[in-house]
């Protein structure tokens, strides 16, 4: 296969835009929205854990179907159709059981598509180390695009109208200066789910024009294990993959601590130990990390070539430690808190994106989706499950007393965990220096 042609690359890029727009629309603000609906910490954990549970289930079913049974782009279209309808429903209900069940359905169909979009992209690339970052940056842009519209959705339009703005500039200034607050801001969060649902339906339609590909079937009966996920788990017999898989679990936990706590930390008043950022600016501030991610994704190929797998991965893990260190020790510096959001690009591109490229480079192509799913089991599944179960308890029960949260003590936890993970990765991760395009497990790449 030659290098991916521009028209194909453009479709893959836009696929990533929509894929991560969906997730980025509802995830950052759900942590503050669920308590506003009166859900208990246990109910909140059930809803938040729908995503990681879906990742675990998807490892054994959805990725298997994508590898063995269905053309990936058709599986993508069906998944986003069903998942889109479900997440739309989340914006229309305030009752726990309907909300939970709709979120569970959405996640069961959405989560596997993360592995599948990666697989579709890798299947249409000759040199993933150079090309994947350029295509995957579409996902980063999608996440950013999902955040900024809410700057205007979370505006107190009654106050803007009462101010009688003159001209566009004055109108814009009044809009940005009058955010919704309190219950009104929490109620407006329902639109995050509606926007996500509309984007999911759009991707369902767009999936039908993606590059066509067939599921990977063994050329001869018995040549390939029928259960792709079984073959994927067998890859963990290689020590370097096992080490990376375990560190990925830890990094995922720390990564999800960021999403659990950052929105609350940014929105909490300075008097209560937070940063005191207005509700309509929380999502845009958090999206600065995705802006930095664009740059890091674009240079990822060069970084991998010069630093190698291990050093690039270690830097990605240390990015988390650095960010939480600023949260813990410089909470009064709004400028530093905002600036450190840029480390998110380093955390994501240098670790998670690098993991995806590494897996594609070292694992058999006939289990492409399942090999990606093996690591998504940690990234989106077990690591997120641990964080979503532990984080609400830590912030609400352990580090909050009398309504005041000890953010310093809270953030030292993930800072220390990330530091230990980086040291373990530096010492124990020793990948083979395989020839370019050579996969482990005895299966030749299918580029």
Residue 441 scores a pLDDT above 50: no
Residue 219 scores a pLDDT above 70: no
Among 175-184, 315-324, 430-439, the minimum mean pLDDT is found in 430-439
Q: pLDDT for 395-412, tens place per residue? A: 988 998 888 899 999 999
For the chain, the domains span: 6-211+226-442
Q: Which pLDDT score is estimated for 57?
A: 82
Q: Give CA–CA dist 55/63, Å, rounded.
A: 10
Q: Give CA–CA dist 51/53, Å, rounded.
A: 6
What average pLDDT score do residues 267-276 get? 89
Q: pLDDT for 108-132, tens place per residue? A: 999 888 888 988 888 888 787 788 8
Among 18-22, 87-91, 136-140, the minimum mean pLDDT is found in 136-140
Residue 66 scores a pLDDT above 60: no
Fold adopted by 6-211+226-442:
Growth Hormone; Chain: A; (1.20.1250)
What average pLDDT score do residues 29-39 get? 85
> 3-state class of 437 per DSSP?
coil
Q: Which residues of 365-377 are buried (b: 16+ CB within 10 A; e: fewer)?
A: bbbbbbbbbbbbb
Higher model confidence: residue 200 or residue 233? 200
Q: What is the pTM of this model?
A: 0.73
Task: For the chain, give the percent of residues with pLDDT over 90.
Answer: 39
**In 3D, which of 247, 196, 160 has the Cα closest to residue 21?**
196
Q: Contacts by 16-19 with C-beta closer than 8 Å and gap 24+?
A: 16/117, 16/121, 16/135, 16/136, 16/137, 16/138, 16/139, 16/142, 17/138, 17/139, 17/141, 17/142, 17/145, 18/142, 18/199, 18/202, 18/203, 18/206, 19/113, 19/114, 19/117, 19/139, 19/142, 19/203
**In 3D, which of 228, 9, 30, 248 has the Cα closest to residue 138?**
9
pLDDT grade for 255, boundaries at 50, 70 and 90: very high
| Cβ contact 93:82 at 8 Å | no
């Amino acid at each position: 296969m030659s290098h991916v042609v521009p028209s194909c690359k453009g479709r893959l890029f836009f696929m990533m835009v929509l894929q991560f727009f969906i997730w980025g629309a509802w995830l950052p603000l759900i942590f503050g929205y669920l308590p506003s609906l009166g859900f208990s910490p246990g109910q909140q954990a059930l809803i938040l854990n729908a995503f990681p549970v879906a990742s675990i289930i998807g490892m054994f079913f959805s990725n298997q179907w994508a590898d063995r049974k269905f053309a990936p782009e058709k599986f993508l279209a069906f998944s986003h159709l069903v998942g889109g309808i479900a997440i739309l429903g989340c914006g229309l209900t305030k009752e726990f059981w309907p909300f939970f069940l709709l979120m569970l359905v959405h996640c069961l169909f959405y989560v596997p598509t993360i592995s599948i979009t990666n697989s579709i992209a890798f299947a249409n690339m000759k040199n993933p180390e150079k090309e994947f970052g350029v295509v995957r940056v579409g996902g980063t842009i999608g996440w950013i695009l999902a955040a900024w519209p809410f700057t205007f959705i979370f505006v107190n339009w009654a106050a803007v109208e009462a101010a009688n703005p003159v001209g566009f500039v004055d109108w814009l200034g009044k809009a940005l200066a009058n955010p919704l607050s309190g219950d009104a801001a929490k109620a407006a969060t329902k639109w995050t789910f509606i926007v996500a649902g509309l984007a999911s339906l759009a991707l369902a339609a767009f999936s039908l024009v993606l590059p066509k590909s067939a599921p990977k079937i063994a050329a001869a009966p018995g040549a390939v294990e029928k259960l792709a996920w079984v073959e994927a788990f067998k890859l963990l017999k290689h020590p370097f993959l096992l080490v990376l898989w375990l560190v990925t679990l830890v990094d995922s936990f720390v990564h999800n601590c960021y999403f659990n706590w950052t929105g609350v930390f940014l929105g909490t008043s300075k008097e209560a130990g937070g940063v005191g950022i207005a509700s309509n600016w929380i999502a845009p501030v958090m999206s600065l990390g995705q802006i930095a991610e664009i740059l890091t994704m674009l240079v990822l190929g060069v970084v991998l070539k010069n630093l190698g797998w291990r050093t690039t991965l270690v830097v990605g893990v240390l990015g988390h430690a650095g960010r939480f260190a600023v949260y813990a020790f410089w909470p009064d510096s709004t400028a530093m808190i905002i600036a450190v959001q840029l480390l998110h690009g380093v955390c994501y591109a240098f670790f998670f994106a690098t993991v995806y490229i590494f897996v594609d480079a070292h694992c058999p192509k006939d289990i492409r989706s399942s090999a990606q799913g093996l690591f998504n089991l940690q990234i989106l599944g077990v690591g997120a499950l641990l964080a979503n179960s532990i984080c609400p308890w830590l912030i609400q029960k352990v580090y909050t007393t009398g309504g005041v949260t000890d953010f310093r003590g809270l953030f030292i936890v993930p800072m220390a965990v990330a530091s230990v993970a980086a040291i373990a990765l530096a010492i124990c991760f020793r990948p083979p220096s395989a020839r370019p395009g050579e996969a482990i497990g005895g299966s030749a790449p299918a580029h």
